[in-house]
């Protein structure tokens, strides 16, 4: 009995010691992760970052190929301390920052270290090349409700240029023999893809039950407040009006009504219509340095033979009222984002990555905004 009691006592002491050390290990890991979270907060606190961290790291751009480092202070917390080291760019990838967090759990004379590691993607509104975090801009078609692709439609998603193809939040209605050069992602259940080219099948992904992606609202009051020109009532826009300004500051035209568009435009700008848009003819780039985005708070109708160079965004505060319809021989070079997208007949939609550069699109960062970071990877070392 004495021997058995000693065995139980030994096991109990070992178990208690293991539990104690396990507690210290976990505490150290939590402290290490908290330092990474602190780094993210510091980067998003202001344009230059808390304690000028963004300035020191040059927003992760690594100007001139130089890798920059930032060493934080060491913060004392109940049960230990933590700190982090940040470097950028990570493995020569522009606008990425690697953060290694160190946590040390202490109890009396004992201390247990741990490290956490994360790679971040930084978007800074004052660093034009860093991009913008909105996700819809990578799709040639983004339908926030059910979508429709029919007849002999051709859709060029250009994955070789970074395009993601087609996204539908819900059901995608496919009829006829449409061709989609690029991936298709739907949040709904499985579909019969056999009628969707190119053939043979398998060249691009046809994915179902994907995660839902958000669609930023259209803040009409905000666009009206920053517009260069404001019009009350309906407006017809032809090739005599307007002229944009330049790439860094697009001209914004706000119409508190419906817009009918026709003609060739120069410059770079955004036309916002509160009550819908109709394309009656062509909307062309006036030069290689021009481009337009059309933002509607209601329905967008593209007539049969219209040719459009630009992005179309239709999102209504009323459920699924921001519908974009294109049919006939309509051709759109840019992208279509809407509550619901319907493409029919022989219409052609082709992705233009140049539209990603435009500022003031819904969900994009404004010059007065703080930086935003996305976590690319995260783990305990």
Distance of CA 102 to the CA centre of its chain: 30
**How far, in Å, CA of 78 to CA of 94, rounded?**
37
Beta bridge partners of 104: 81, 113
pLDDT at res. 318: 72
Beta strands in 157-306, from DSSP E residues, in sequence order = 166-168, 172-174, 179-181, 184-186, 206-207, 229-232, 235-237, 251-256, 259-265, 268-273, 277-285, 291-296, 300-302
Q: Which of 289, 330, 283, 290 is nearest to 309 (CA)?
A: 283
9: three-class secondary structure by DSSP: helix
Q: Mean pLDDT per 10-residue run, the chain (381 residues)? A: 60 55 85 96 94 92 80 93 95 92 91 95 81 84 93 95 92 92 90 86 91 86 91 82 55 91 76 90 63 89 83 82 88 92 93 80 82 90 86
Distances from the Cα of 276 to the Cαs of 135, 234, 269, in angstroms? 24, 10, 18
> Which residues are bridge partners to 368 per DSSP?
none
Which residues make Cβ contacts (< 8 Å) with residue 111, sequence separation at least 6? 80, 104, 105
pLDDT score recorded for residue 215? 85
| pLDDT confidence of residue 30 | 94
Residue labelled with tokens 């976990």: 26
What's the token pair of residue 70?
Answer: 């930032």
Kindly report the three-state secondary structure assignment for every residue of 44-76. HCCCCCHHHHHHHHHHHCCHHHCCEEEECCCEE
* pLDDT at res. 12: 53
For residue 286, the model assigns a pLDDT of: 59
**What pLDDT, on a 0 to 100 scale, did the predictor assign at position 284?**
64
Q: How far apart are CA 257 and CA 355, in angstroms?
A: 25
**Domain range summary for the chain, segments of one domain joined by +:** 2-132+368-380, 136-357
**Rg of the chain in Å (alpha carbons):** 27
Dihedral Cα 359, 128, 365, 215, nearest 10 deg? 70
* Cis peptide bond prior to 89, omega within 30° of 0: yes
Query: Who contacts 80 (Cβ-Cβ below 8 Å, separation ≥6)?
Result: 27, 28, 31, 103, 104, 105, 106, 111
Are 104 and 334 within 8 A, CB to CB?
Answer: no
Contact 295, 271 (CB under 8 A): yes
């Amino acid at each position: 009995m004495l021997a058995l009691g000693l065995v139980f006592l030994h096991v109990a002491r070992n178990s208690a010691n293991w539990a104690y050390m396990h507690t210290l290990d976990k505490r150290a890991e939590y402290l290490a992760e908290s330092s990474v979270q602190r780094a993210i907060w510091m980067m998003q606190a202001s344009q230059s970052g808390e304690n000028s961290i963004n300035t020191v790291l040059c927003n992760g751009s690594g100007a001139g190929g130089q890798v920059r480092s930032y060493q934080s202070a060491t913060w004392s917390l109940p049960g230990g301390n933590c700190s982090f080291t940040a470097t950028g760019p990570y493995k020569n990838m522009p606008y990425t920052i690697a953060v290694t967090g160190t946590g040390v759990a202490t109890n009396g004379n004992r201390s247990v270290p741990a490290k956490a590691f994360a790679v971040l993607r930084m978007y800074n509104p004052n660093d034009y090349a860093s991009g913008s975090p909105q996700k819809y801009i990578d799709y040639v078609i983004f339908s926030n409700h059910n979508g429709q692709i029919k007849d002999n439609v051709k859709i060029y998603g250009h994955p070789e240029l970074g395009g993601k193809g087609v996204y539908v939040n819900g059901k995608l209605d496919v009829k006829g023999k449409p061709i989609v050069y690029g991936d298709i992602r739907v949040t709904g259940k499985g579909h019969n893809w056999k009628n969707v080219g190119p053939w043979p099948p398998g060249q691009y992904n046809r994915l179902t039950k994907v995660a839902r992606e958000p669609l930023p609202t259209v803040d009409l009051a905000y666009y009206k407040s920053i517009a260069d020109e404001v019009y009350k009532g309906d407006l017809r826009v032809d090739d005599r009006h307007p002229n944009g300004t330049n790439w860094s500051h697009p001209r914004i035209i706000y119409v508190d009504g419906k817009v009918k568009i026709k003609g060739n435009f120069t410059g770079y700008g955004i036309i916002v219509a509160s009550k819908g848009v109709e394309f009656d003819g062509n909307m062309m780039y006036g030069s290689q340095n021009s481009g337009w985005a059309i933002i509607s708070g209601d329905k967008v109708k593209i007539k049969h033979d219209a040719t459009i160079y630009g992005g179309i965004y239709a999102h209504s505060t009323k459920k699924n009222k921001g519908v974009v319809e294109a049919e006939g021989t309509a051709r759109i070079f840019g992208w279509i984002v809407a509550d619901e997208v319907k493409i029919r007949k022989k219409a052609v939609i082709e992705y233009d990555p140049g539209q990603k550069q435009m500022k003031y699109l819904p969900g994009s960062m404004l010059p007065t905004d703080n930086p935003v970071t996305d976590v690319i990877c995260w783990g305990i070392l």
